[in-house]
Structure 1
Amino acid sequence: MKRLLLTAVLAVLMITEVHAESFTVSDIRVNGLQRVSAGSVFGALPLNVGEVADDRRLVESTRALFKTGFFQDIQLGRDGNVLVITVVERPSVSSITIDGNKAISTDDLMKGLKQSGLAEGEIFQRATLEGVRNELQRQYVAQGRYSATVDTEVVPEPRNRVALKVNINEGTVASIQHINVVGNTVFPEDDLVDLFELKTTNWLSFFKNDDKYAREKLSGDLERLRSYYLDRGYINMDIASTQVSITPDKKNVYITVNVNEGEKYNVGEVKLSGDLKVPEDQIKSLLLVQPGQVFSRKLMTTTSELITRRLGNEGYTFANVNAVPQPDPENHTVAITFVVDPGKRAYVNRINYRGNTKSEDEVLRREMRQMEGGWASTYLIDQSKVRLERLGFFKEVNVETPAVPGTDDQVDVNYAVEEQASGSITASVGFAQSAGLILGGSITQNNFLGTGNKVSIGLTRSEYQSRYNFSYVDPYWTADGVSLGYNVFYRTTDYKELDVDVANYSVDSLGAGITMGYPISDTSRLTYGLSVQQDEISTGQYTVDEIFDFVNREGDKYLNFKASVGWSESTLNKGVLPTRGTSQSLVLESTIPGSDLQFYKLDYRAQLFQPLNDTYTMRLHTELGYGDGYGSTSGLPFYENYYAGGFNSVRGFKDSTLGPRSTPSSGKNPGTIADPDQDPLPFGGNVLIQGGVEVLFPMPFVKDQRSLRTSVFWDVGNVFDTNCKGDTKDCDIGFSNMASSVGLGVTWVTALGPLSFSLAMPIKKPNDAETQVFQFSLGQTF
C-alpha cells in the first residue's frame, strides 16, 4: 500500500509539465527503451491515441507502466499534442554466483531464486533480492544454524546489466545442551524427554547428529509428546508454550516445554452407527477400545482403520469410518461412537503395471489375487502386492487405486515396481592357497529373459575339483502354480590333491533329476523329486579308517535312485533381503529299490524375521539335518556326510573344518596310524545342528538401504556322528561341543548378484577347528 501511494505521488509530480490543461493525444513517443519492446509499453498503457489526456489519465498511465516492473524511472512530457514517455529500464541479471553453501545445494538455491523471479536474463529488482536473502536466512535458522550469515552483492556491468553474488557463511548447527519439560506431575521428566528425537550431546551424537537443533524435528517431538499423553487418557493435555533459548555465541540451545496435563479419562460407552454392510458381531470383534479402559487415541484411530479395511475387503474401497469422542468432564469418561459410511461398492476396471522393463506383464499378472471385474478387495490387492515382493525381482512395489473418471463405483489398480538384479553372473580366475589355480564361471538367473523361470549354468575348475551343472525351473508349469524343474550335473572332487586338512579320497559323480511342486496355499507348497546318481570312490594312500571300512564293505562304485518329498512355507515380505515374516522347509530324501545303497536324509531349515522397532529387526535361523543307512547299508555313506563351518554355516571358521575328526591310517594297513605327527582330519557326520541370531540395522551414512543389509550376529553349530569308531574325536552330541562366533555381516545386492562379507571372532572353538576371521560370498544372501 505504501509503495502504491508513493508511485501515485511521483506520478503527480512527474506530470507537472502537462497538467495545466488537458489535450487530445495525436501520437505517443517512447524514449529510453533498450530491451523492452515498444509493444510492451503500448500494451500496458491505458491511454491511446485520440483519447483526451488529463491529470487522472496520466496518473493511471504512470502507475500502469510502473506495475510492469520493467522500469525504475518514468517521466511523462508533452510536445504539442504528442505524449512523450521517457523511461529508465531496470537492469537485467547477467549472472548469479553462490559461494559457501553446503547444507543447501546450489541447484536447490538456484531453483528458489528462479521461483522468486531472480534468474539469468530476468529483470533485476532489489526488493526481490532482499526478500530472498531474508528467506534464506530463515531457512538456515530453521536448521539450527543461528550463526549463519547471507550477504548479497550487486555488481553493475555494461549494457544495463548486473551480476549477483550471494556469499553464504553457514556457520555451525547449534548443539542442544538441555531439554526441560515443565508442568508434568504424572510422568517423570526423563521418560518424556526420552520420547524426543532431539537429544542432548552424547557419545553417539557424532554419528547420529541427534543433538543438532532443527525446528522441524522439534515440531515432531512435540507431537510425539502430545500423542503420549492422549494415548494414556489425558485428552485435555496442552502444550502451553515452548521456549528455545540460544547462548550469546549462538552455538548452544536450551529447550523448555511447558505442559498442562489435565485430568485422566477412561472409556465410557462404545457404539456403532451407520450402515455396517457386514455382520455387526464381526465389526465388534475389531473394537480395540472397550468400556472401562484408559482412553487411547491410538487405539481409537487403529479401530477405525481396522473397520475401514474390513469394509475394504468386501469391496467398499471408499468407506469412511469416523470415531467421534464425546467427553464427560464430570465423570472423566469419553463415549466413543464409530460412524460407518461404507459408500458404494467399488469394482476393479483395469490392473496396470509400470516399471517392469525386464519382466513380462504375465509374470506379474499371474501373482494377482485381485481379479479385474471383481469387487475391489483391500486384502486381495495387498496380498497381490506381497506376492510381487516375494518374487525377489523387484526392489520396491507400490500400489494405487485411483477412481475411474466419470464413475463412482470403479477403480483402477496400478502397481509400480522398481526392478533389481534377480540373479548372478560370475567369471573368475584366481589362486587360493588351499585350492591352487581356480577357473570358474556361472550364470544364475531367477527371472530368465523376464519369464520368471530360473536357469542356472555353472562351470568351475580348480586343482582338486571340477563341477558342471545345468538346472531349469518353471514355477508356473501349469496355470494353477504347479512347478517343474530338472537338473543335470557332473562333478569330480579329488581331496588327495588338496593340501588342507580334509579326509583323503576322491569321488566322481554324475546325475540328473526332476522335481515338481504343488501349491497347497498362498504361502506353502509340497515338492516331489526323482533323481539318479552314479558315484565312484577312490581312496588315497592315506585316509581315515571310516572311509576304508565303507569302501571295503560296500565297494567303490554305486548307482543310486533317490526319491524326495518336501514341504515349504514362506510368509517373508520380500524374496531378497526380507525384514519380516518366516520361512521353513522340511525335506526327506531316500534311495529307493534298485539302488546299490540304502540310506536317507532328513533336513529342516527355518528363519524368523521379527521387527524390534522401525529401525532394527531380529533374525533367528536354524538348520538341522540327520541321515542314516537302512537295510543292508550300515550308516550314512561318508561322501553324503554333513559338514559345518564357513560363510553359510558358522562364520569365523574355515569351510567344512568343524565336526568329527580321525587320524589318517595307511591304505595298506588300515587301523595303523600313517604319520604320528599328522593332525586328525575332518570327515563330516550324519547329524547337523546349526543356527544363530542376528540383529539387522541400517548402514550409517547410506540413504538407500533397499539393496543393503548389515547385521551383528551370533552363530552356533557343529556336525556330529552317531556311529563314531576308533580314535575319532568330537563325536558326542551336546552343547559343550558346539562351535560359536560373533561378528559383523554385510550383504549388498549388486548387478552381478548378492555380495556378502563377514568379520567374525570365534568365542567357543572345538578342538582342532580352524578359524577364519574374514569371509565373503558372491551370489548368496544370509
Structure 2
Amino acid sequence: MVTLLSAPRSLEDKNYMKLKQVIAAGILFSGAVLASDNSSEFVVEDIRVQGLQRVALGAALTHLPVQVGDRLNDFRISQMIRSLYDSSHFERIRVLRDGNTLIVEVRERPTISNITFDGNDDIKDEQLNQSLDDSDVRVGEPLDKTVLTSIETGLQDFYYSIGKYNADVTAMVTPLPRNRVDLKLVFEEGDAAEIKQINIVGNKTFSDEELLGQIELQFDTPWWDFMSETRYQKQKLTGDMETLKSYYMDRGYLKYNLDSTQVSMTPDKSGVYIALNVTEGDQYRVSEVELVGDLLGHEDTIERILPLRADTMYNLAEVTYTEEFISKYLGRYGYAYPEVTTIPEVNDEDKTVKLTMSVDPGKRIYVRRINFTGNEVTADEVLRREVRQMEGAALSNQALEASKSRLSRLTYMEEVEFETVRLAGEDDQVDVEFSVKEQPSGSFNAGIGYGDRTKLSLQAGIQQNNFLGTGKQVGINLNSVSYQKSASLSYTDPYFTIDGISLGGNVFFSEFDAGSANLVQYKNKRWGVGLNLGYPVNEYNRLNYGITYISNEISQLQTYEQIRAFYDTFADPNNPDAGIQFDAFELSLGWRRSTLNRGVFPTAGSSQSLSTKVSTPNSDANYYKFMLDTKFYFPLDRAQKWSILTRLEAGYGNGYDEVNGNDQTLPFWENFRSGGNDTLRGFENNTVGPRPIYRQPTTVTGPDGSQIALGPDSDTIADPIARRLRSVGGNAMVTGGVELIFPTPFLDEEYSNSVRTSLFVDVGNVWDTEFDLDRYSELAQSEQDKLVDYSDPGRIRSSYGLSVQWISPMGPMTFSFARTMSEEPGDETKFFSFNIGKTF
C-alpha cells in the first residue's frame, strides 16, 4: 500500500500564487501538509526517486538528508522536502511510503531553451541579459518561475525611475517538448512623464532663473532646443538637489537646507509638477583655519601651500578640495589612507566659521604586488616598464599618478585606471590593480585600383606601434601607381635597454615621376638606410640622434626659375639634359618633451618637439633643416571632455658652403609644403606656397644667321613669364591653429576615447626666403604683373571648420569639413577631406 506523506506542491496553486512574494516560506511549507494517519515513525529500508530526467540520481540523493536505516518522522520529512526545494532543481515534490520503502516523486524545473525581448527601447538587450544572468536566469539552466516576479518588479521600478509610469513588463513562458521552455520578456514602455513645472520656494538671494539654470531637469524649453530633456527622472532630481546644495554652500551659505520636496503627478500620469522648498540662511566667512593631528613633520610646508585660507567666503568645494589635497600630499610618503576631517565652529553672531582640520595619517602602506588586467594583446612587461611605483616600496600616490600618465601616453592604450586593494589581515599592505583598455595601435592598408591618372595601382602596408604586444614599432609599406613605386621598412625598439634607450632603423626605396603626378616635371630615384638612437633625460624629456645615408638621382628635370641656380651648380654644362646624382649623409638631433595625459586624443598637458638635420660636409649637397612642433591642451571642465588645443608648427632650411663659387641652397625635394589634413584644412594637399615660374628668353637672328637670345644680359628684356598653379614648396613654413574639442553628439560614452570632434581655425603659410623679386625688375611691366613675391611670409592662408577623428580597426581616420577665410589667387580649396593614418 502506497501512502501519501506530503501533498503535491504546484506553482499554479492559487494559494501559493498569493504567497509567491514570500518565496522562502512557500518553499518550506506549501508542500508539507502531512496526512493525519502518517504520524507514526518507520525505519527506511529502501529509497526510490521517480521523475528524474536531467538531474542524475546521485545528485538528487545528495540533497536527501535521509539514508537507508534512518528512522523517518514528520519533522525529518519536512527537512527532506525543504532540502530538495533548496537544490533549485525541482518545482514539484511528492513523498510517499510503500511499506518501509520511501518513494520521492519529483517534477524537474523546465530548462530554458531561449530568451528573447520585445518592445525594449530604453534598455539594451545586453543590459537585460546581464540582469538575468545575475539572477541565474540563463539559457540551458532550469527556470525558477518565482524569480520572474522579482525581475518584472525590478524592471518596472527602473521605468518608474525614468518617469515612465505607464510602463509594464510581462514575462511569458512557453512550454516546449522535453521539459523545455521559451522565455520572452514583453515590454510596454509607454511615454515618459513630462515635467510641467518646477517651483523653488524660499529663495531670496538667487532668482528662480539662476537656480533653475544650475540643474539638469528642465521644463518649458523652446521648440528649437531639440537637445533639451524635459522628461522626469528620479535620479536626476536627486542629483539636482545636491547641485543646489553645493551651489549655496560654495557661496558661503553654510546653513542652507532643502526643507521638503513635493512631486505630484497628473491623473493620466503624463505630467509631473515639482516643488522644492529651501531655507537659504546667512552667508558665513572663514575666520581661521587650524591644522591639528599628526602631519609627519610637514606642518610648515602644508600650511604654506594650503588652498583654504582665512578671511575668505566659506566654500564647501574648497574645503573638500583641501581635504583631498592633504590626503594626496601625505600619500606621496606612503600614507595612502589618511583621515582628514573638517570640524566647523560656527559663530552666528558675526557670521563666521572656524575650520579645524584634523589629520590622522594612519599607517604607512607598502605595495605587495602590482597586477594588470585588460591587456589582451600587450605583454605585462611592456606595461610594467612604464610603472614608477615599485613592488615592495612604500605606496606613493605621486608614483601611481605618474605611472598612469606614462601608460596613458602609450599610443595603444585607450583608458588606464588603477585602484589599491587592501589585503585581508594586513593593515599595512596593498595590491595595486591597473585596469587598461587597449585600442588599435596602428593601421593596415591593402588594395588594388585603376584611375585615369594613376592607372593600375597596388598598395599594401602595415604600421604597428605595438607589434605582437611587445611595444615595438614596425612599419612595412609597398606602393605602386603610375607615377610612383616605393617600398619601406622601419623598426624601433623603445626599450632597447632597460633604462629606456631606444634603437631603430629604416630602409626605403622609391621611384617618382612628378610629371605624371601633375607636378613640375622631374624624375627622382631615391633610396636610403638610417639608424637612430634615443634616450630619456627625465620623465618628460627625451633626446634622439640619427644618421641616414640617402642617394638621390634626378633626371628629366623641367627647370624653373627658383631652382635654376641649384640645378646649374650641379648640372653638367656639356650635357645639360643628363641627370644629376646626389649622395648625402644626414645627421639628426631631436628633443621631445611631453606632459600629455594620453598618447592619442589627449585633453590636457602639452608636447614640444624640436629637431634638426644637416648633411655632412662630404655630402654632394650641403644643407640643413630645423623643425618645431608644439601643442598645448587646456581642459575647460574637470572631466576634461571640453578642451582648447593650440598648436604651432614651424620650419626653416637652407644650404651652406659653396660649389663652384655659388652658394648652396636647400634641395627642392626637401622643401616644406602645406595644405590638407595635416596642416591647413580647406586647401588641397601640398598646394599652399610658392608656384614655379618659367621664364622663356626670346631670340632674334644675328648678322651671321645665328639665333641670339634676348635674355637678362640683353639690352631689350622681353622674356615672357608663365606660372603653374601647383606649389613647389619653400624653405620656410609656419602653420598653427586653435581647436575647441567637445564631446561628439549622439555618441555613447564608451566610444568617447576613440572618436574626437572639434571646431578649428587653421592659419599658415609657406615661403621662399631665397626668392628675389628684384631679379625680374627689368622685365616688361605686363610680365612683372604676373609675379608674386614668394619671399613674403605675410601671405597668410586661413580656414575654419569641423573635424572628426576616429581610431578605427583599420587605423586612425580623419574627416574634415572646412571653409577658407583668406587665400591667395590660384590656391586650390577643398570643402571635404579624408585622411587615413594621422591623428591630431
Maintained 8 Å contact 1:665/1:673: no
* Residue 698 (structure 1) aligned with residue 743 (structure 2): yes
Match of 2:792 in 1: 733
- Over residues 436-476 of structure 1, what are the superposed CA-to-partner deviations in whole Å (9 max), with x where a residue is unaligned? 43322222222233332222222222222222222222222
Match of 2:678 in 1: 648
Maintained 8 Å contact 2:588/2:611: yes
Alignment of structure 1 residues 46-445 onto 2, 5 Å: 99-105=118-124, 133-150=152-169, 167-200=186-219, 202=221, 208=227, 210-431=229-450, 435-445=454-464
Maintained 8 Å contact 1:323/1:339: yes
Distance 1:427 1:117 in 2: 46
Distance 1:73 1:457 in 2: 69
Match of 1:472 in 2: 491
Summarize the Cα distance change of 1:530–1:43 in structure 2 as closer, same or farther, 3 Å threshold: closer
Match of 2:694 in 1: 664
Match of 1:627 in 2: 653
Maintained 8 Å contact 2:541/2:592: yes
Maintained 8 Å contact 2:522/2:554: yes
* Residue 573 (structure 1) aligned with residue 597 (structure 2): yes
Match of 1:549 in 2: 565
Distance 1:626 1:41 in 2: 84
Deviation at 1:234, TM superposition (A): 1.0
Maintained 8 Å contact 1:270/1:289: yes
Paired amino acid for 2:306: L
Maintained 8 Å contact 1:664/1:680: no
* Residue 720 (structure 1) aligned with residue 767 (structure 2): yes
Match of 1:684 in 2: 729
Match of 1:776 in 2: 834
- Over residues 276-327 of structure 1, what are the superposed CA-to-partner deviations in whole Å (9 max), with x where a residue is unaligned? 1142111113421111111111111111111111111111122222222222
Deviation at 1:177, TM superposition (A): 3.7
Summarize the Cα distance change of 1:435–1:651 in structure 2 as closer, same or farther, 3 Å threshold: farther
Paired amino acid for 1:173: A
Summarize the Cα distance change of 1:333–1:165 in structure 2 as closer, same or farther, 3 Å threshold: same
Using the TM superposition, name which of 225-234 and 659-668 deviates more.
659-668
Maintained 8 Å contact 1:267/1:289: no
Distance 1:117 1:355 in 2: 25
Deviation at 1:551, TM superposition (A): 0.6
Paired amino acid for 1:741: S
Maintained 8 Å contact 1:286/1:307: no
Summarize the Cα distance change of 1:366–1:311 in structure 2 as closer, same or farther, 3 Å threshold: same
Match of 1:762 in 2: 820
Summarize the Cα distance change of 1:644–1:204 in structure 2 as closer, same or farther, 3 Å threshold: farther
In structure 1, runs of 5+ residues without a counterpart are: none
Using the TM superposition, name which of 375-384 and 477-486 deviates more.
477-486
2:532 corresponds to which of 512, 515, 537: 515
Distance 1:535 1:152 in 2: 75
1:591 corresponds to which of 615, 633, 657: 615
Summarize the Cα distance change of 1:336–1:748 in structure 2 as closer, same or farther, 3 Å threshold: same
- Over residues 109-158 of structure 1, what are the superposed CA-to-partner deviations in whole Å (9 max), with x where a residue is unaligned? 67767988999855656xx8766655543332211112324567899999
Query: SS state of the match for residue 664, structure 1?
Result: strand
Using the TM superposition, name which of 261-270 and 112-121 deviates more.
112-121
Distance 2:195 2:627 in 1: 55
Distance 2:631 2:103 in 1: 84
Deviation at 1:209, TM superposition (A): 5.6
Distance 1:16 1:354 in 2: 59
* Residue 603 (structure 1) aligned with residue 633 (structure 2): no
Paired amino acid for 2:550: Q
Summarize the Cα distance change of 1:377–1:263 in structure 2 as closer, same or farther, 3 Å threshold: same
- Over residues 359-402 of structure 1, what are the superposed CA-to-partner deviations in whole Å (9 max), with x where a residue is unaligned? 33332222222222322211112211211111212222222222
Maintained 8 Å contact 1:90/1:123: no
Distance 2:284 2:687 in 1: 64
Paired amino acid for 2:603: T
Distance 2:612 2:441 in 1: 29
Paired amino acid for 1:685: G
Paired amino acid for 1:731: Y
Distance 2:769 2:324 in 1: 56
* Residue 751 (structure 1) aligned with residue 809 (structure 2): yes
Using the TM superposition, name which of 763-772 and 428-437 deviates more.
428-437
Paired amino acid for 1:516: L
Distance 2:132 2:459 in 1: 57
Using the TM superposition, name which of 198-207 and 241-250 deviates more.
198-207
Deviation at 1:434, TM superposition (A): 5.0
Summarize the Cα distance change of 1:92–1:665 in structure 2 as closer, same or farther, 3 Å threshold: same
Deviation at 1:678, TM superposition (A): 6.4
Match of 1:563 in 2: 587
Distance 2:652 2:357 in 1: 56
Using the TM superposition, name which of 159-168 and 398-407 deviates more.
159-168
- Over residues 638-669 of structure 1, what are the superposed CA-to-partner deviations in whole Å (9 max), with x where a residue is unaligned? 22211111121111211111111234345998
Query: SS state of the match for residue 624, structure 1?
Result: strand
Distance 2:233 2:306 in 1: 39
Summarize the Cα distance change of 1:399–1:151 in structure 2 as closer, same or farther, 3 Å threshold: closer
Maintained 8 Å contact 1:93/1:118: no
Paired amino acid for 1:547: I
Query: SS state of the match for residue 548, structure 1?
Result: helix
Maintained 8 Å contact 1:619/1:693: yes
Distance 2:496 2:376 in 1: 23
Summarize the Cα distance change of 1:666–1:449 in structure 2 as closer, same or farther, 3 Å threshold: farther
- Over residues 195-218 of structure 1, what are the superposed CA-to-partner deviations in whole Å (9 max), with x where a residue is unaligned? 112223646998646222211111
Deviation at 1:39, TM superposition (A): 9.4
Deviation at 1:712, TM superposition (A): 2.0
In structure 2, runs of 5+ residues without a counterpart are: 1-17, 45-49, 572-579, 699-708, 777-783
Match of 2:547 in 1: 530
Distance 2:164 2:719 in 1: 76
Distance 1:327 1:211 in 2: 40
- Over residues 12-53 of structure 1, what are the superposed CA-to-partner deviations in whole Å (9 max), with x where a residue is unaligned? xx99988xxx9866799xxxx989999999979xxx9898x9
- Over residues 32-83 of structure 1, what are the superposed CA-to-partner deviations in whole Å (9 max), with x where a residue is unaligned? x989999999979xxx9898x9xxx99x99x999x9999999999xxxx99x
* Residue 616 (structure 1) aligned with residue 642 (structure 2): yes
Query: SS state of the match for residue 402, structure 1?
Result: strand
Maintained 8 Å contact 2:216/2:240: yes
Deviation at 1:606, TM superposition (A): 0.8
Deviation at 1:238, TM superposition (A): 1.1
